[in-house]
Amino acid sequence: MIDFGFGLSRSSAVRLDEVDLSLYRKLEALEPGVRTCMACGSCTSTCTAGPWSGMSVRKVILNLQRGKNVSDMLQACMLCGKCTMVCPRGINTRHLILSLCRIYDEKK
Amino acid sequence: MIYQGKQKIWSDYQKEIPSDRWFYVRSCIRQSFFPASEKYFLHICRDLLGKDIYETEHHTTCGGIAYHCDTIPQETAMTIVARQFALMTEAGYKNLVTSCITSFGNYTEILETWREFPELEARIRENLWKATRREFEKPEYVAHASDLVYKFRNEIAERAKYRLVDAQTGKALRIVEHIGCHYSKMFPHKGIGGAEYPCVLSGMVDSWGGEVVDYPERRHCCGFGFRQYLVKANRSYSVSNTHKKFESMEPYRPDAIITNCPGCPYFLDRWQYVIAEQTGKTYGEGGFGIPVFTYEEFAGLMLGIDPWDLGLQIHQVAVEPFLDKIGIEYDPKAKYLGLNKEEILRPGLPQRLKCF
């Protein structure tokens, strides 16, 4: 092995065949607009809670598509609806978050 | 989404590329990384397709590399670009074609900034006049060289000696296409297919007989990222990005990678050596790695240009297994011969990544 003076992180490559999409599918059924998200990040950049809480609608959708848990992030949302106003795809992000909360509540 | 809506979005992503009379600006780094790519772009366009493509020895870097490394402010890059426009105006051309993806992004970003802030354009015009006594007209059209090759892909296919097909089995070769981030991620409507369906390279692969590989990290950055590579302490971030892409594409068994950016082919190619030396892992068949090509090299190979004239001996990953698959003729002994056909120094071979 050669020491180049810098290392290599463990790969975070997504393997879509192994991802559990059950939560995302439930969300799709309640808020079909989620399919049109292009991850532009307009929602995240306008989020009032984002800078200090880590809330990001873009990350919520992306993590769901990768089968990850997003319940912690949802708790930071203040439901102000600014993300809904700026979404270029017209996704009802406020409804998206409320639907997700409902899905998590049903799981409990 | 309703069908008409889809058609509307798709039509927004198309580019009406002028077919002739271009002012060509080279990349500042490609000639050391892939020395024959620009030469053969000009050869294909001028000599084979009969297009008028002009270049001048007076043009310089566009400043994009320094701008994206945060070493010069945008106003400096703007004045450099204004001088390139002045050279184009003096030569009597109105369409600008760039060899480099970052140049394409830089020119586009500057023109968009001037459109939004005309007072800034006026100041840059004044700067240029004071510094060089030059004036300029803005280009009517800015394209990347891969846009032109995409436009002429079927003409190239008609003249092709080879196709992206396995000569033994007759099956289409599996090709990963990697588009530089500055092509359509900054200004989606400037790239063919936009940011969501960029088809500038997949269109070439389809026309030349190959099969495009779709894999999860297809649109992930190659890892170059300017500062992420140029500062040694950050190189871990750069190589980890490349590693992630290779881990993602590996299960799909690609035969080769085609790229349209100066940095991407370099890093996808060279980091395979570093990953092999750091982890012992190689990608592709037989421990040779996955060969990475520029779109000009691909076009040149299809047209039957000698691989060593195309500069493929400069690649880290051996290209011979891929050439053998297609059935491209080459002389293995001529790989490291100089232009005078005499033996020059041979490079040291890697320990883990197989190479000839």
Q: Are B46 and B53 in contact (CB under 8 A)?
A: yes
CA B316 to chain centre: 17
Q: Are B203 and B298 in contact (CB under 8 A)?
A: no
Q: Are B41 and B70 in contact (CB under 8 A)?
A: no
- pLDDT tens across B6-57, in order? 777 778 788 889 989 999 999 999 999 999 999 999 999 999 999 999 999 9
The pLDDT of residue B8: 77
- pLDDT tens across B195-226, in order? 888 999 999 999 999 999 999 899 999 999 88
Q: Does the beta-carbon distance from B216 to A15 stay under 8 Å?
A: yes
Contacts of A9 in chain B (CB under 8 A): 236-237, 240, 243
Best B2, B239, B246 residue to mutate vs chain A (most A CBs within 10 Å): B239
Q: Does the beta-carbon distance from A13 to B247 stay under 8 Å?
A: yes
Q: Are B194 and B184 in contact (CB under 8 A)?
A: yes
| Residue in chain B nearest A17 by alpha carbon | B216
For B38, phi then psi, to 5°, come to -70, -40
Q: Are B200 and B146 in contact (CB under 8 A)?
A: yes
Distance CA B71, CA B319 (A): 36
Give which of B169, B157, B265 is closest to B203, Cα–Cα: B157
Closest residue to B216, CB basis, from A1, A8, A13: A13
The pLDDT of residue B1: 55
CB contact B278 to A (< 8 Å): yes
Contacts of A67 in chain B (CB under 8 A): none
Burial class (CB within 10 angstroms; exposed 0-12, middle 13-18, buried 19+) of B89? middle
Sheet holding B22-25, edge to edge: B53-54, B22-25, B95-98, B141-144
> For chain A, which residues score pLDDT lower than 50?
none
The pLDDT of residue B142: 96
For Cα atoms B137, B140, B144, give the angle at the middle one, nearest 5 degrees: 115
ipTM over 0.85: no
Is B337 in a helix, a strand, or coil?
A: strand
DSSP string, B85-142: HHHHHHHT--EEEES-HHHHHHHHHHHHHHHH-HHHHHHHHHHHHHHH-------SEE
Closest residue to B244, CB basis, from A5, A7, A12: A12
Q: Does the beta-carbon distance from B247 to A11 stay under 8 Å?
A: yes
Structure tokens at B245: 């892409």
Contacts of A5 in chain B (CB under 8 A): 232, 235
The pLDDT of residue B112: 96
Which whole number is the average pLDDT over B143-163?
A: 97
Dihedral sign from CA coordinates of B215, B218, B224, B227: negative
Residues 292-351 of B with CB under 8 A from A: 351
For Cα atoms B348, B349, B351, give the angle at the middle one, nearest 5 degrees: 125
Instruction: Report the residue count for chain B.
Output: 356
The pLDDT of residue B102: 95
Distance CA A91, CA B76 (A): 40
> What single-letter amino acid sits at B324?
D
Q: Are B192 and B15 in contact (CB under 8 A)?
A: yes
Q: Does the beta-carbon distance from A4 to B278 stay under 8 Å?
A: yes
Distance CA B83, CA B96 (A): 13
For Cα atoms B136, B142, B145, give the angle at the middle one, nearest 5 degrees: 125
- pTM of the model as a whole: 0.86
Q: Are B288 and B319 in contact (CB under 8 A)?
A: no
> Helix, strand, coil: what percent of chain A each, to 5?
55, 0, 45
Contacts of B244 in chain A (CB under 8 A): 11-13
Size of interface A-B (CB pairs under 8 A): 52
Query: Half-sphere exposure (CA, 13 Å, Cβ side) for B291?
Result: 24
Is B59 a residue whose pLDDT tops 80?
Answer: yes
Give which of B81, B351, B58 is closest to A1, Cα–Cα: B351
Distance CA B33, CA B341 (A): 21
